[in-house]
Amino acid sequence: MILPLLISAPHAGLRVPPEAEPYCSLTPEEIARDGDEGAAEIYTIENEVECYVTTDVARAIVDLNRAEDDRRKDGVVKTHTCWEVPVYEPFPSEAVVQTLLEKYYRPYHQRLTRLGGRGLQLAVDCHTMAAKGPPVGPDPGVERPWACISNADGTCPQEWMDTLKECLEERFGPNVTINHPFKGGYITRTHAAEMPWVQLELSRAPFASNQQKREHVLAALGAWTLKAPR
């Protein structure tokens, strides 16, 4: 069964685009550590859902889950990774930043907006999270749940959140939270004007293999589509 869902995986990429290559000082390991390690394997469910959007560009270079004008050090084009490692030496010019936004950031959001009018049941912005909060997270050094779903207190109905939590708990056990430590990022908050959205974060703790996590997520989402009201 093809699930009536839109899946977004904005942090699964590892590529440094050519516009940023002359400036980027990160090693491949540092790029991977700043992104959603395991997401490319866990969320490769494009053949199981109606719509699927992802990118191969690394989060450290263009963070699609930030506002376009977010110029903080962990903003849309970062000065530092979430582990406080400098991204560039030197930082690129404003012209390069604008090129990155035009080529890699805006098309992603434009596609989400187009797909938001397809009449799908739910959109899920899919991530993995460090097992313990990184320095720039909302919970530095704190052990995280195995799964966290968030709706920013309104990007989809609370009844849907409760049902999705139950479906995830059937697969992952009771270590599932709502709106903690994350409440929902820029993608869910912005595109909820077009259709219902939820953010899903899975811990990178080795409680299951990435393949097992993929199977659990797919089963939980499938169960949710049958239980949630249309």
pLDDT for res 229: 73
The helix/strand/coil state of 228 is coil
pLDDT for res 9: 99
pLDDT for res 47: 98
Question: Which CATH number do you get for residue 72?
Answer: 3.40.630.40
pLDDT for res 54: 98
pLDDT for res 198: 99
**Tokens found for residue 163:** 């049902």
The pLDDT tens digits for 165-215 are 999 999 999 999 999 999 999 999 999 999 999 999 999 999 999 999 999
Q: How far is CA 176 from the centre of its chain?
A: 17
Which residue(s) pair with 203 in the sheet?
129
The pLDDT tens digits for 133-172 are 998 888 999 999 999 999 999 999 999 999 999 999 999 9
pLDDT for res 137: 84
Q: How many domains does the chain have?
A: 1
**Domain span at 66:** 3-227
- Does residue 224 carry a pLDDT above 80? yes
pLDDT for res 136: 83
pTM: 0.96
Task: Name which of 152, 170, 160 is nearest 220 in CA terms.
Answer: 170
The helix/strand/coil state of 68 is coil
Q: Mean pLDDT in the chain? A: 97
Cβ–Cβ < 8 Å for 3, 221: yes
- Does residue 53 carry a pLDDT above 90? yes
| Percent composition of the chain: helix, strand, coil (DSSP 3-state, to 5) | 30, 20, 50
